[in-house]
Structure 1
Amino acid sequence: MANAELVLVPTPGMGHLVSMVEMAKLLVARDSRLSITVLIMKLPIDSEVDSYTDSLAASVAAARIRLVHLPCVNSDTEISSGSFLTHFVESNKPHVKQAVADLAGSASSTWRLAGFVIDMFCTTMIDVANEFGVPSYIFFTSSAAFLGLMLHLQSLQDEQHMDITEFKDSAAELDFPSFVNPLPAKVLPSVVLLKEAAQPFLEHAKRIRAVKGVIINTFEELEPHALGSLAGLGAPAVYPVGPVLNLKGESKKKADGGHRGDDIMEWLNEQPPSSVVFLCFGSGGSFHEDQVKEIAHALERSGHRFLWSLRRPPPKGKFDLPRDYTDPAEVLPEGFLDRTAGIGKVIGWAPQAAVLAHPAIGGFVSHCGWNSTLESIWFGMAVAAWPLYAEQQFNAFELVVELGLAVEIKMDYRKDFRMESKFVVTAEEIEGGIKKLMEDVGGERRKKVKEVSEKSRKTVVEGGSSYSSLGRLIEDILNNTP
């Protein structure tokens, strides 16, 4: 059999890129006939991508995975606008086409282009796959329930001519086929509530209907209802292959040659089992000073040991990723670091997977990004949900209400560059959430989390549902290679 080459096009941004590369590793490890080229588009703001791909280059080359950096494009659209990503991906089309043509030109006679695997926000690249006459598959880096939401909203808009943005500030409870429970409009993602963003977003849903298959980073045992609802919503073939995780994590080199994260692990080694609450809000998560002080008061009053990843927000009006504080004391209540020195540690960047795996951690205050959600499930870690942006409010609702795997701190909180919550979550609310999280030791929720954790590990090994699903996907790719 000739070698089948897949071209993967991730959305720029670490959360999407890392998942896509991990999926590539699964595919090549499973079938020696596959090789993969990952085309990397570069955002003007994300410096992490370079260090991540540098660290990968040697290890993946041996595994039949190539990383190709596309030339930088200058998008004239403001990066904080609702249509930036659409324009950015669109403007990369000629580079993707050229890169694939170069691959084909340099390949041996046994090489065949088998298809494109395209990130959920890069659906415009389906056009390029069509030009090469190969099938497209979507890699969906969020939940099956969220795919259901996208498809349902798109049909409400296009078939029932409903204006989805009218749900903004609505107190309505909505029926969605991918959930058993009614969904409050207040947890819909900002992107469907804003006029300039809703249309391009729902365009992705429309295009997803036309691809050969959707590969979802979830597993049958986690979302049986949502997965079961997709066919009725007009989804193509669905392949749940998750949890697809990068559990090795990244260890960051310090300027002095040491590793960031070593001191965190040393501190955790000294704490009793399951005693520490870990607060971490993802690569884009940060809070303004008023909110930081409320979190600090809550931690101090709760009396629980804590590890807090505290990041500095980008300057007002500047669209960028948070950075570490030189001195976190400048935003914390006076004397906080001294008073909590015995029980807590405030850090900047955190090696999240390694921390969640540590026996000292007893609970996770999380923004509920989907990758973080899957990591918390893998490590059997109970979560207190405090979403910030993207589809995190929706994920928080799924975890707390639909699946019963998390407690709520503030499910409808938003810190989105296009739509921000004006309120501050009080120390009382945060403390209540932390206590509920940390003190429910033998409760139903903890039991459920442990059960789902065990299932998440079984599903990816031989005989498991995600393992079988990946096998079906590979058969489909090889049988449909032109």
Structure 2
Amino acid sequence: MTSKPQTHVVIVSSPGVGHLVCDLELGNRLVADHNVHVTFFVVVESNSSAGESDLIQSARTQKLLDIIELPPVDISDKVEPNSPIFTRLTTIMRETNPILRSAISSLNPSPTALFVDIFGTPALDVADEFHMLKYVFVTSALPLALILYVPVLDKEVEGEYVVQKEPLRLPGCMPVRPADVVDPLLNRTKLEYRVFLQVGLEMRQSDGVLVNTWEDLDTTTLKAMREQEGYGSLAVYAVGPLVRPVKPSGLKCKLLDWLDEQPVESVIYISFGSAGVLSAQQITELAWGLELSRKSFIWVLRPPIKDKGGNALDYLPDGFLERTHNLGLVVTQWAPQSEILGHKSIGGFLSHCGWNSSLESILNGVPMIAWPLYAEQKMNATMLAEELGVAVRPKIAPTKGIVGREEIEMMVRKVMGDQEGMAMRARVKELKDSGEKACAEGGSSFNALTQLVKQCEMNLQRQKVK
């Protein structure tokens, strides 16, 4: 009796820690839970971060994936050095196509499907050349609905999206406030807008999209994308939550030692992601807000963008560290976020609402203060606060003005313990349980990946017939 040949797929991850985390975890799940052979291509930049290198090295030690780094490409004659991230990364991926094509042609056995993240849609053309199924893996559901629907909005909406008096209507989904649109939609005359529109059109030509969410978390949006023709009639697979796993190993550091000494759910964690920074004035107001709240804290602090490389501590109010030395810790280097959020002493998270961070918070049962700064974070923040009820957010958007110390104090106190905060805590713990069940064998996300693998197996059989 001959055994069934192992399905072989390719995952291509564009530069950047955020989606590299998710792409690696997708690969790990396909191997560990579904017996798929995964070749994982990482597109690197000449100035790639230490975080990316650590992730790749860690993945190599697990020996689940065949990891191949594709060399950097020169895009200096294609885009300006300070081009927005959407333009820069999609250009990198387009210029990487010849290298990727050569790398795939040398694989044995030939892969049957190609998975790319949102910046990798230019590589879908390569999949066609090798008769592979082609899928796009994205972070959160509502921004996905927006990018799929942008080709329709581009024809229907006159003028700039951000000056519309009414919310943007996405069929079957929560309306998107003009102020919440993603960065590439802020100016329709810019190249980044045209790139974003092109990505939406390329995604519509794929065999399906994978979303890092689960059915119970995004029921309405997932249903709309599957049933409303305006989104391109794509197959939509909810396969999350896929986050960086917490290592229960002997990781020891000052932060975790300090947390061990704090009461359960008594500490608020403040971090704005790898690229999030505040103005000098906002750092001052946040510091005073934390001090006034009298709640314990861990604050990952970076200097304002104009002082990149400077000493972040110089921007704290005079005497702040002395007055709060028994209350909290200010960190100016890397912090082990997964381990911090998973610690029993953490009771709240002041977050930029990047989707990875949002999922980590939910999966640890931690309510949030939503503080979006860029990309799709404003849409995520609105969903977390208004649809899921697991976050509070300031009255003024942090990108539009300064959030004052009194409001910060109030939000910290609320998320850490008043009646509304307790309701958020109960709700987020319900979502934590549903997310864990979704990924377990027989859960909705496990079953979605099973269905996806069957599609890949069918394509393998078709290739053999040919």
The normalised TM-score by structure 1 is 0.88
User: Could you tell me which residue of structure 2 aligns to residue 330 of structure 1?
Assistant: 314
- CA distance in 1 between counterparts of 2:402 and 2:248 reads 32
Which of 86, 95, 102 is the matching residue for 1:98? 102
Which segment drifts farther, 453-462 or 440-449?
440-449
Whether the aligned pair in 2 keeps the contact of 1:381 and 1:449 (CA below 8 Å) is: yes
Whether the aligned pair in 2 keeps the contact of 1:397 and 1:411 (CA below 8 Å) is: no
Q: Which amino acid aligns with 1:41?
A: V
Whether the aligned pair in 1 keeps the contact of 2:112 and 2:131 (CA below 8 Å) is: no
User: Could you tell me which residue of structure 2 aligns to residue 295 of structure 1?
Assistant: 286
Which of 193, 200, 203 is the matching residue for 1:205? 200
User: Could you tell me which residue of structure 1 aligns to residue 93 of structure 2?
Assistant: 89
Whether the aligned pair in 1 keeps the contact of 2:142 and 2:379 (CA below 8 Å) is: no
Which of 209, 224, 230 is the matching residue for 1:229? 224
Q: Aligned in 2, Cα 1:155/1:371: closer, same or farther, shift over 3 Å?
A: same
Which segment drifts farther, 42-51 or 429-438?
42-51
Which of 258, 270, 275 is the matching residue for 2:261? 270
Which of 21, 37, 40 is the matching residue for 1:38? 40
- CA distance in 1 between counterparts of 2:164 and 2:417 reads 34
- CA distance in 1 between counterparts of 2:172 and 2:398 reads 23
- How far off its partner does 1:4 sit? 2.5
User: Could you tell me which residue of structure 1 aligns to residue 67 of structure 2?
Assistant: 67
Whether the aligned pair in 1 keeps the contact of 2:210 and 2:238 (CA below 8 Å) is: yes
Percent identical among aligned pairs is: 35
Structure holding more strand per residue: 1
Provide structure 1 residue ranges, at least 5 long, that are not aligned to the other structure.
Answer: 252-257, 317-321, 415-420
Q: Aligned in 2, Cα 1:43/1:425: closer, same or farther, shift over 3 Å?
A: farther
User: Could you tell me which residue of structure 2 aligns to residue 241 of structure 1?
Assistant: 239
2:338 counterpart of 1:343 = no
2:130 counterpart of 1:122 = no
Q: Which amino acid aligns with 2:315?
A: V
User: Could you tell me which residue of structure 1 aligns to residue 186 of structure 2?
Assistant: 193
Q: Which amino acid aligns with 1:87?
A: T
1:32-431 alignment runs, 5 A limit: 32=35, 34-48=36-50, 49-60=52-63, 63=64, 65-76=65-76, 77-82=79-84, 83-103=87-107, 107=108, 111-140=109-138, 142-158=139-155, 160=156, 162-163=157-158, 166-180=160-174, 182-194=175-187, 195-196=189-190, 197-231=192-226, 232=228, 233-248=231-246, 262-315=253-306, 328-348=312-332, 349-409=334-394, 412-414=397-399, 421=400, 423-431=401-409
- CA distance in 1 between counterparts of 2:411 and 2:379 reads 18
- How far off its partner does 1:51 sit? 2.7
Q: Which amino acid aligns with 1:276?
A: V
Q: Which amino acid aligns with 2:357?
A: S
2:446 counterpart of 1:455 = no
User: Could you tell me which residue of structure 2 aligns to residue 417 of structure 1?
Assistant: none
Q: Which amino acid aligns with 1:447?
A: A
User: Could you tell me which residue of structure 1 aligns to residue 413 of structure 2?
Assistant: 435
- How far off its partner does 1:41 sit? 1.1
How many residues of Structure 1 are paired with residues of Structure 2 in the alignment? 446
Whether the aligned pair in 2 keeps the contact of 1:148 and 1:177 (CA below 8 Å) is: no
Q: Aligned in 2, Cα 1:387/1:463: closer, same or farther, shift over 3 Å?
A: same
- CA distance in 2 between counterparts of 1:393 and 1:115 reads 33
SS in 2 for 1:113: coil
- CA distance in 2 between counterparts of 1:148 and 1:26 reads 25
- How far off its partner does 1:400 sit? 0.8
Q: Which amino acid aligns with 2:21?
A: V
Q: Aligned in 2, Cα 1:475/1:455: closer, same or farther, shift over 3 Å?
A: same
Which of 443, 448, 461 is the matching residue for 1:469? 448
User: Could you tell me which residue of structure 2 aligns to residue 9 of structure 1?
Assistant: 12
- How far off its partner does 1:81 sit? 1.2
Whether the aligned pair in 2 keeps the contact of 1:137 and 1:211 (CA below 8 Å) is: yes
- CA RMSD across the alignment: 2.1
SS in 2 for 1:363: strand
Whether the aligned pair in 2 keeps the contact of 1:171 and 1:184 (CA below 8 Å) is: no
Q: Which amino acid aligns with 1:449?
A: V
Q: Which amino acid aligns with 1:475?
A: K
Whether the aligned pair in 2 keeps the contact of 1:386 and 1:410 (CA below 8 Å) is: no
Q: Which amino acid aligns with 1:228?
A: K
Q: Aligned in 2, Cα 1:411/1:352: closer, same or farther, shift over 3 Å?
A: farther
Whether the aligned pair in 2 keeps the contact of 1:369 and 1:395 (CA below 8 Å) is: yes
Q: Which amino acid aligns with 2:40?
A: V
- CA distance in 1 between counterparts of 2:425 and 2:55 reads 34
SS in 1 for 2:115: strand
Q: Aligned in 2, Cα 1:235/1:369: closer, same or farther, shift over 3 Å?
A: farther
- CA distance in 2 between counterparts of 1:128 and 1:275 reads 51
- How far off its partner does 1:112 sit? 3.1
Deviations 1:416-456 (A, max 9, x none): xxxxx4x2222122222212211235743222111111111
Q: Which amino acid aligns with 1:371?
A: N
- CA distance in 2 between counterparts of 1:462 and 1:10 reads 26
SS in 2 for 1:3: coil
The normalised TM-score by structure 2 is 0.91
Whether the aligned pair in 1 keeps the contact of 2:145 and 2:221 (CA below 8 Å) is: yes
Q: Aligned in 2, Cα 1:269/1:408: closer, same or farther, shift over 3 Å?
A: same
SS in 2 for 1:126: helix
- How far off its partner does 1:175 sit? 2.5
Q: Which amino acid aligns with 1:190?
A: D
Structure holding more helix per residue: 2
Q: Which amino acid aligns with 2:99?
A: H
- How far off its partner does 1:170 sit? 4.5
- How far off its partner does 1:133 sit? 1.6
